[in-house]
Amino acid sequence: MTGGLAARLARRIERDGPVSLAEFMALNNAAYYAGGDPFGRGGDFITAPEVSQMFGEIVGLWCVDAWERMERPAEFRLVELGPGRGVLMADALRAARLEPAFRPEVHLVETSPALRSLQRAQGFDAVWHDRPDTIPDGPSIWLANEFFDALPVRQFVRIGGSWHERLVDLGGDGLRFVAGPALRHAGAGGDGDVTEVCPAAGGIAAVLAARPGYGLAIDYGYVEPPGRPTVQAVSGHGRVDPLSRPGEADMSAHVDFAALMRAGREAGAAVWGPAPQGEWLRRLGIEARAARLGGQEEALARLTGGDAMGRLFRVLAFGPAGAPAPAGFLDGEGG
């Protein structure tokens, strides 16, 4: 094990015993995102806004349409969670200039100081927050692309007829996974099953869904639990062992869309989707935009293709209860 986080974790585990996978993931990602710029071909991974400007432009026009449905408030907030380098917001704001009356107050939820600097360098005015609950009340449109997948998950493994939380302990010359004590109130399941829970995601979705207006959560994930572990660590565009270099790889987990939908509905919102990203982008005219821009064949395939982000990623919308489906969603697709 190398690095400052590895040493801190070792001291902590020696003193207090093993930490949960969720604690490990939270510490890992805080250190990882504080470390600088992981995006793009030279970095660790590429997100949809980094593939092509078309993604942010379409999201920006979706926001203008949502604002029209909100009856064009003069004062409103445009919120983004986990904005990365700020590319999505920059492209969205540029596309939204087609409607001069769309003048949002921009709020960004970002914990990494290094990424905040990159977002500031995009040149648009914004207010930064560590958490969404400090954003002032009022009509809002919020966006979260690959944000929920970065939140820490707890993992439970079924062994010998009971569930055990997966913990991280010291072992040999590094870290290793161990099973915690058997949980007393064990639900059903077969030996070897794994289930994941992301306590932070539901809480954040509830805070966002309670705001008047619309929102979009775009991520890879499931509605039916897959029954297997989905936590992964990525570095240099490939998968790595999450325990080998704490704080040096991006850790993520598939998003439980059913939990986000439940949290949204319990907060009084309607939800639509999750629609496959490719279909959603096509319904909103990405092919016409690609033809107009030219040279976008590879990006279009990547964003919409069934074997690429187009099916793996899904789009979930939040909006006022009783409202018709927002742009890109079909009536009856949630609601």
- What's the closest the beta carbon of residue 44 comes to ligand SAM, in angstroms? 9
Reference 18, options 157, 151, 180, 163; nearest CA is 180
Which of residues 82 and 202 has its CB atom nearest to ligand SAM in the complex? 82
| Number of Cβ within a 10 Å radius of residue 283 | 14
In angstroms, give the least distance from the CB of 211 to ligand SAM: 17
Cβ at position 221, least distance to ligand SAM in Å: 13
Q: Give the footprint of ligand SAM on this chain (CB under 6 A).
A: 29, 33, 47, 49-50, 82-84, 88, 109-112, 115, 145-147, 150-151
Residue partners of 64: CB distance under 8 A and separation at least 6:
95, 96, 98, 99, 102
Nearer to ligand SAM, 164 or 219 (CB): 219
Residues 6+ apart with CB under 8 A from 38: 32, 44, 45, 250
Residue, CB closest to ligand SAM: 82
| Shortest distance in whole angstroms from residue 126 CB to ligand SAM | 13
Considering beta carbons, is residue 110 or 256 the nearer one to ligand SAM? 110
> Of the two residues 26 and 261, which places its CB atom closer to ligand SAM in the complex?
26
Residue 187 beta carbon to ligand SAM: minimum distance, rounded to whole angstroms: 28
> How far is the CA of 280 from the CAs of 74, 142, 165, 184, 327, in angstroms?
28, 17, 37, 43, 9
The nearer residue to ligand SAM, 26 or 167, going by C-beta atoms, is: 26
What letters, b where the CB count within 10 A reaches 16 and e where it falls short, cover 200-218?
ebbebbbbbbbbebbbbbb
- Comparison of 24 and 163: residue with beta carbon closer to ligand SAM: 24
As a whole number of angstroms, the distance between CA 124 and CA 175 comes to 42
Q: CB of 183: closest distance to ligand SAM in angstroms?
A: 26
